[in-house]
Amino acid sequence: MENQPRIVWITGASSGIGRALVETFVRHGDTVVGTAREEAKLLEVKAGLGESGQRCFILACDIRQEGAVGSAARVILDRFKKVDVLINCAGITYFKDFLSTTATEFDEVVDTNLKGTYLVTRSVLPSMLDRRAGLILNIVSYAAKTSYTLSSAYAASKAGVEALMNGLRAEVRDKGIKIVNVFPGAVLTPIWPPKHRERYADRMMRPEEFAEPLYQLTCLPPSMMVEELIVRPQGGDLKV
């Protein structure tokens, strides 16, 4: 880890895994930029950090929109001059079967989970290549590795993220850039409907527990890169 605090950009920072990652990286002394669509929720995250909130900067950004992502990246790079670690965490889903999923819902899932990851990564990659340093950590999903009912659109978007980032890794690994794909199983976050959280809470992983090993992944020596990590609940998959 560098002597100076790293600049860490975390998308989807307003709740769930993203919020836990903000709290974890700030606690360890990094400077975090947290983005999400709703500024009010980001303000709650910052307020919850107490005095440590001075190391957290928030910025409303809809990662589905190329212009919004470009504007956010310019603000971050103008202020901090670099992004050491990018964590692509923003994601949505609809728990619907294939035929029940509308084209609008499909587009929203793919635009957020896949296109958003592409746009945010593309916005900071040139500056990382210029410095020949940087780490891009993608919160994918175990849904990309297996088949679940009521999640075909979500699984497709996440499998796309895996393929996209595997391709990028092959392009930039000799240029000092690390690409890490993380495949979590069920984590107790608002992405799950309330009835599932109530029924399966005792079997799900907690965001704060999940965030700590991800922080450690970003602290490996420059000579090492964990290319992918699968983390699942001890009890295995949920039956939804």
Contacts of 9 (CB under 8 A, 6+ apart): 32, 33, 35, 76, 83, 85, 86, 87, 120, 124
CA–CA distances in Å: residue 29 to residues 92, 180, 190: 29, 21, 27
Gyration radius of the chain over CA positions: 17
* Residue 154 designated active-site: yes
Contact 139, 182 (CB under 8 A): yes
Of 118, 142, 154, 215, which one is the catalytic site residue? Answer: 154
Tokens 């005095």 appear where? 51
Task: Give me the amino acid identity at 193.
Answer: P
Give the Cα separation of 60 and 71 in Å (integer). 10
Catalytic residues: 154
